[in-house]
Structure 1
Amino acid sequence: MGNVDEGPRHAERSVRAGWPGMRGKRVVVTGGSRGLGEGIVRLLLAEGARVATCARGKAGLAALDASLPGEERARLLTEDLDVTEPGRLEDFVTTAAKRFGTLDGVVACVGGSRGGGFEQADAADWAATWDLNVGHTVRLVRAALPYLRAAGGGSVVLISSISGWKPGRSAQYGAAKSAQIHLAASLARELGPDNIRVNAVSPGSMLIPGRRWDRLRREDPGAYDRFVGAELPGGRPVTPHEVARAVVFLLSDWASGVSGAHLPVDRAQNAPSPDGY
């Protein structure tokens, strides 16, 4: 019987026995000034990575920069831009790659929805939601490809949502997030020969100060408790830091065998919202 390890071998990166972390890795993260994006940026910097992040609004980026220790601040590049504006995202990726030498990873974290329910959302709302989620993701990955190839490969993480695989309002948002999950699986096959891994992460409801679930908890604690009791068997929503740890794992060499995966980080949440299915 032949040895199962016999046959052609691909070049492999050396991974030491302990947690390899992200020290020295060069990563672009979109939407890094608040919420999950900020959590990913902070964790990457704490792990020793060099990070470039963009977001709309100088104030949030300035606050992030000012809150960091000096050594981490020196490894952070920020730019105020709208990822849907033609050319701006591509230019930012090029700037980051030139500053860092090349790129080892990208995280498509910008997302959102425009319009209300199905009958209220018009064609422009659908197009804008698609462009913000799927369009920006495609442009980010395309812009980063030459640099990931130059580095000998890398990791791409697409931030989808529980709404991308568990139906709920709004349909335009769920459809866009579902497309990101499919995109990750498809690109993993297409880019695999270049040693580029692509995975999707779907956060559940996240408890972020000032955002939807935090506001509900403060303004209508009864409704919040009913939602948690009915839909969250873990007894609480996930935190951005919990999701960020999964993202950083997928960016790291410890996840070298993981590509084309869809990783929910939702504490076994059922419906995406109190509306249920």
Structure 2
Amino acid sequence: MNLKEKNAVVTGGSRGLGLGLVEALVAHGAKVTVVARETGALAAVRERLGVATISADVTDEAAAHRILGEIQPDILVLNAGAKPPTGRLDRLSWEDFSTTWETDVKGGLYWMQAALKTPLKSGSRVLVGSSGAAQNGSPLSGGYAGAKRMLWLMAKYANGVSEQGNLGIRFQAIVPQQIIGDTGVGDAGAKAYAGALGIGQKEFLARFGAPMPPREFGEKVVSVLEEAKYADGVVFGLKGDTGITMIEGAAA
């Protein structure tokens, strides 16, 4: 996919990993619309990068259908998510434990359904934000790991629906395989795990090897979109020192 003049919608694109991706997409010539809740952050990214912005909650089902119907993006990136409350399993309330299910998974469901029902045009790509926690667990972040694994599975389910309907829409899960600093979720996770180990956050983050700051993450995602060898993959692992790994390819 050549990103020049392609229309892209990025949820949660006003900060953190989402902002790094928006920066990369703009640099590669895409026309980007950022969807997020906070109007101040949206105004800042609009002024700096010249992108379009829409203030909406990703768990608003009607907004998902309306936005995709109006913009008809070639690329949809589902990046928005909640910062999970951290704590041991025996100390979390159900409200804390289920935070990412009520935001990340609920929003993911509505936006994937909207992509399929609108539907987006054939050849469109939908990138679904998952996490390395989906592979290895995350004992201090409640239901986060399970929620991110569910999003991974939902991308596969959506591909099945697309194939059954001959829609030509490709859903792909993006799995950062390290905790990333200078992001809301990453900083919260690093603080919790570093505290449990009795070390500093920088020392903890160094355990993952080479860092992958948000803009570098964005460039790796752009490679998944642009390079032909990734077109048929379903799940991709991204890491600072190993680059892009195809975890799951297309079903036979």
TM interval, shorter chain, is: 0.7 to 0.9
Deviation at 1:249, TM superposition (A): 2.6
Q: Specify which of 154, 175, 178 is matched with residue 202 of structure 1.
A: 175
Distance 2:20 2:55 in 1: 18
Q: Does 1:264 align with 2:234?
A: no
Distance 1:66 1:214 in 2: 30
Deviation at 1:64, TM superposition (A): 0.6
C-alpha deviations, 1:100-119, integer Å up to 9, x for none? xx321211001124444323
1:227 match = 204
Deviation at 1:255, TM superposition (A): 5.2
Structural mapping, 1:10-159, within 5 Å: 21-68=2-49, 73=50, 76-95=51-70, 97=71, 102-115=72-85, 116-147=87-118, 149=120, 151-159=121-129
8 Å CA contact 2:190–2:205 kept in 1: the answer is no
8 Å CA contact 1:114–1:129 kept in 2: the answer is yes
Distance 1:175 1:209 in 2: 20
Q: Structure 2 vs 1, CA of residues 44 and 56 (structure 1 numbering), >3 Å: closer, same or farther? A: same
Distance 2:183 2:80 in 1: 18
Distance 1:241 1:189 in 2: 32
8 Å CA contact 2:11–2:34 kept in 1: the answer is yes
Q: Structure 2 vs 1, CA of residues 215 and 62 (structure 1 numbering), >3 Å: closer, same or farther? A: farther
Distance 1:91 1:148 in 2: 12
Q: Structure 2 vs 1, CA of residues 146 and 24 (structure 1 numbering), >3 Å: closer, same or farther? A: farther
8 Å CA contact 1:158–1:201 kept in 2: the answer is yes
Q: Structure 2 vs 1, CA of residues 24 and 225 (structure 1 numbering), >3 Å: closer, same or farther? A: closer
8 Å CA contact 2:10–2:34 kept in 1: the answer is yes
8 Å CA contact 2:8–2:76 kept in 1: the answer is yes
Deviation at 1:31, TM superposition (A): 0.3
8 Å CA contact 1:188–1:259 kept in 2: the answer is no
8 Å CA contact 2:92–2:142 kept in 1: the answer is no
Distance 1:268 1:37 in 2: 20
Q: Structure 2 vs 1, CA of residues 255 and 213 (structure 1 numbering), >3 Å: closer, same or farther? A: farther
Larger radius of gyration: 1
Distance 2:39 2:100 in 1: 23
Cα RMSD after superposing both structures: 3.0
Q: How many residues align?
A: 232
Deviation at 1:131, TM superposition (A): 2.3
Distance 2:229 2:76 in 1: 15
Distance 1:157 1:249 in 2: 12
- Letter aligned with residue 168 of structure 2: N
Distance 1:238 1:164 in 2: 18
Deviation at 1:42, TM superposition (A): 1.6
Stretches of 4+ aligned residues off by more than 4 angstroms: 146-149, 213-216, 219-222
2:249 match = none
C-alpha deviations, 1:208-258, integer Å up to 9, x for none? 278617996xx99962354245x32x3x32111222123223333635632
Q: Structure 2 vs 1, CA of residues 196 and 250 (structure 1 numbering), >3 Å: closer, same or farther? A: farther
Q: Structure 2 vs 1, CA of residues 226 and 128 (structure 1 numbering), >3 Å: closer, same or farther? A: closer
Unaligned runs of at least 5 residues, structure 2? 243-252
